[in-house]
Amino acid sequence: MFLVKYSIESKITFDLVEVNTGNTENGFLEIVSNAVNLGSINIVTKGAYDLRMTIKTRMNKMKELFQFFKK
């Protein structure tokens, strides 16, 4: 799950936090985290998959660059 860490003048920082599923009732699913209090933060719900893939792609490109310069 991605959490909005802070937002200043259109620059947004995200944290990736591991969560567990809890109870289900009436079509709702409880999300539980030992790392953070989920009641006091903004959670990314729309576009989370796209955000994850963008971050993953950028990390892979950075790894390739580091490998290139290590040679």
**pLDDT higher than threshold 80 for residue 60:** yes
Task: Taking residues 37-55, report their average pLDDT.
Answer: 84
The encoded tokens of residue 37 equal 């209090």
Q: Which residue has the higher pLDDT, 32 or 45?
A: 32
Asked if 1 contacts 45 with a C-beta cutoff of 8 angstroms, the reply is no
C-alpha 53/C-alpha 13 separation (Å) is 16
The number of folded domains in the chain is 1
Residue 51 confidence class, pLDDT cut points 50, 70, 90: confident
Domain that includes residue 22, residue range: 2-70
pTM of the model: 0.53
